[in-house]
């Protein structure tokens, strides 16, 4: 969701109103994107990793809602492994007169703009190229980096800490919890105050990782408060998961514990100083695996707490 920010700002620069259709997990991020006027939340059965069943009544309700909105243009922003065509069919059925998307499959009459891209583009650039193909571009002075709507809410923690986020959206992208806990100790030994963050379902993990020397913030922050927390950090240590991109969106340097199950060229933190850690040539590279297919999770378990401390020192001293 955050990686679509440059596309959204480009569309907003040439549109009277922008309505963003987001999945349940991404709605809070969509609400933070500059240029978004309204967010609709819908669980898409052909996109979500844990999809709901296809419900014809639900599809009909969304179709009628789009018909009532009567948009002039729909820009279907997908990731590289997602098809825009099912949603394009729904939008066309709802009477949307112009639809643009990236796709390699023959769209018939479903798309007015079928855009093609280089597979190795970073996701924000890929999305922005679609906006441009649809006739929209960034306004003068917009550098195309990720961004959030400001001002952000106040947070109780002083700026300058190191944030360590041990969780990940799928297990294959998570640094081992024991390594995370050791990194908190090592960062504290190096003189850093360490804040450990996580969602409501990760409180047990964050408590373990924080131990006695980190500050456990598991489950305590809203999405906007998380953005504010990262905004005040000296650096963020995180896997390839949402807070990595949220850190990039607020301009904070990232130590990226990056499992190569998806390409770093597309998904590494965008537009901020980054140190990429992890074996990018490991056997799991490019598999898009949710569970690590290699015993011992070597692509990330090979990264030591000392490696993380050195990466943090490099970023904060730049």
Q: What is the reported pTM?
A: 0.96
Identify the pLDDT of residue 50. Answer: 84
Specify the pLDDT at position 118.
Answer: 82
| Pick from 284, 290, 293, 244: nearest CA to 50 | 290
Q: Count CB-CB contacts under 10 A for residue 123.
A: 22
Where the chain has pLDDT below 50, the residues are none
Contact (Cβ atoms closer than 8 angstroms) between residue 296 and residue 271:
no
What is the Cα–Cα distance from 81 to 103, expressed in whole angstroms? 10
Q: In this structure, is the dihedral angle defined by the CA atoms of residues 46, 48, 50 and 54, taken in order, positive or negative?
A: negative
Architecture of domain 162-316: 3-Layer(aba) Sandwich (3.40)
Which CATH number does 2-133 carry? 3.40.50.2000
Do residues 2 and 77 make contact, with C-beta atoms less than 8 angstroms apart? no
pLDDT score of 37: 98
Nearest to 85 by CA among 63, 66, 60, 111: 111
pLDDT of residue 233: 98
What's residue 13's pLDDT? 98
Closest CA to 63 of 100, 22, 93: 93
Predicted pLDDT at 239: 97
Between β-strands 99-102 and 74-76, what pairing exists: parallel, antiparallel or unpaired?
parallel
User: Residue 252: what pLDDT?
Assistant: 98
- Domain assignments of the chain as residue spans, ordered by start: 2-133, 162-316
């Amino acid at each position: 969701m955050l990686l679509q920010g440059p596309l959204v700002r480009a569309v907003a620069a040439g549109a009277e109103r922008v309505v963003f259709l987001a999945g349940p997990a991404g709605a809070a991020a969509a609400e933070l994107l500059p240029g978004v006027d309204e967010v609709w939340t819908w669980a898409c059965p052909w996109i979500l990793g844990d999809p709901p069943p296809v419900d014809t009544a639900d599809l009909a309700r969304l179709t009628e809602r789009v018909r009532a909105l009567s948009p002039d243009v729909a820009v279907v922003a997908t990731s590289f492994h997602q098809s825009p065509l099912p949603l394009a069919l729904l939008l066309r059925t709802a009477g949307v007169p112009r639809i643009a998307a990236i796709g390699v499959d023959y769209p018939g009459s479903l798309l007015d703009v079928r855009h093609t891209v280089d597979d190795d583009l970073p996701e924000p650039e890929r999305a922005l190229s679609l906006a441009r193909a649809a006739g929209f571009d960034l306004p003068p002075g917009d550098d195309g980096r990720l961004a959030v709507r400001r001002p952000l809410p106040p947070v109780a923690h002083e700026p300058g800490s190191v944030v360590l986020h041990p969780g990940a959206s799928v297990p294959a992208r998570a640094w081992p919890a024991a390594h995370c806990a050791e990194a908190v100790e090592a960062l504290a030994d190096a003189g850093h105050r360490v804040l450990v963050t996580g969602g409501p379902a990760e409180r047990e993990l964050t408590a373990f990782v924080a131990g006695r020397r980190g500050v456990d913030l598991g489950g305590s922050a809203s999405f906007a408060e998380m953005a504010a927390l990262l905004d005040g950090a000296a650096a963020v240590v995180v896997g390839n998961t949402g807070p990595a991109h949220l850190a990039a969106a607020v301009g904070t340097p990232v130590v990226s514990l990056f499992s190569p199950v998806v390409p770093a060229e597309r998904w590494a933190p965008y537009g901020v100083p980054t140190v990429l850690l992890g074996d990018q040539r490991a056997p799991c590279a490019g598999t898009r695996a949710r569970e690590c297919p290699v015993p011992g999770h070597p692509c990330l378990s090979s990264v030591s707490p000392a490696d993380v401390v050195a990466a943090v020192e490099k970023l904060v001293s730049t």
